[in-house]
C-alpha cells in the first residue's frame, strides 16, 4: 500500500533561487556623446559589468512615470529633489533612497550586490550623484 493518498509522479523539485543569474546584456553606449556606439554601422552588444553600467545610467536618467513606453517600475524619481530646500544630509539620504529604488530590479536579479561611496550634490538647479556599484563582475563608478 502507498504511503500517501495523493498521486505523485517521481518529479524532482527544483529551487528557483538556486538558478544562476543570467548574464546581463545591453547595447554599447557612448556616455560622452549620450548615444549608442556603432561599429561598421551596427550597434554592438556588451555583457557583464559594462552592460550593468549602461542599464544603471539609463534607468537613473529616465524620469519615472513620464514616458508611456516604460513600465511604472522603470526610471528614477530624483527630479523630485530639484527645487526642494532640504539640508545636505536629507538631500543625500533622499537621493540614495531614490537611487536604491531605481536599481531595485537589478539588485533583485543579483546584478548589483551593493551601492557604496554615495554622494549627492546640488550645483544651482542641477543634482549630481556619484557612487560605486559592486557586482559579481567587478566594481564600477557611476556619475549622473
Q: What is the pTM of this model?
A: 0.79
Q: Residue 17: its pLDDT value, please?
A: 44
The reported pLDDT for the residue numbered 28 is 93
- Over the chain (144 residues), what is each successive 10-residue block's mean pLDDT? 60 49 89 90 93 94 89 89 83 92 93 94 84 95 93
Q: Does residue 138 contact residue 49 with C-beta atoms inside 8 Å?
A: yes
Q: Which residues contact residue 42 at a Cβ distance below 8 angstroms, ignoring those fewer than 6 apart? A: none
Other CB atoms within a 10 A radius of the CB of residue 53 amount to 21
- Per-residue pLDDT at 3: 63
> How far is it, in rounded angstroms, from Cα 92 to Cα 89?
5
Q: Which helix (H) or strand (E) segment is 134 a member of?
A: strand 126-135
Per-domain boundaries in the chain = 21-143
Phi and psi at 38, nearest 5°, equal -115, 140
- DSSP symbols for 28-67: -EETTTTEE-EETTEE-EEETHHHHHHHHHHHHHSBTTT-
How much is the pLDDT for 86?
82
Cell of 69: 513606453
Q: What is the pLDDT of residue 68?
A: 87
Amino acid at each position: 500500500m502507498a504511503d500517501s493518498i495523493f498521486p505523485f509522479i517521481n518529479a524532482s523539485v527544483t529551487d528557483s533561487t538556486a538558478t544562476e543569474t543570467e548574464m546581463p546584456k545591453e547595447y554599447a553606449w557612448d556616455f560622452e556623446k549620450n548615444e549608442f556606439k556603432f561599429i561598421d554601422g551596427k550597434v554592438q552588444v556588451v555583457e557583464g559589468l559594462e552592460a550593468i553600467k549602461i542599464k544603471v545610467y539609463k534607468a537613473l536618467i529616465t524620469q519615472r512615470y513620464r514616458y508611456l513606453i516604460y513600465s511604472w517600475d522603470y526610471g528614477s524619481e530624483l527630479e523630485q529633489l530639484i527645487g526642494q530646500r532640504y539640508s545636505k544630509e536629507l538631500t543625500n539620504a533622499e537621493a540614495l533612497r531614490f537611487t536604491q529604488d531605481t536599481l531595485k530590479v537589478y539588485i533583485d536579479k543579483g546584478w548589483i550586490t551593493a551601492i557604496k561611496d554615495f554622494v549627492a550634490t546640488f550645483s544651482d538647479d542641477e543634482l549630481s550623484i556619484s557612487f560605486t556599484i559592486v557586482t559579481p563582475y567587478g566594481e564600477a563608478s557611476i556619475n549622473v
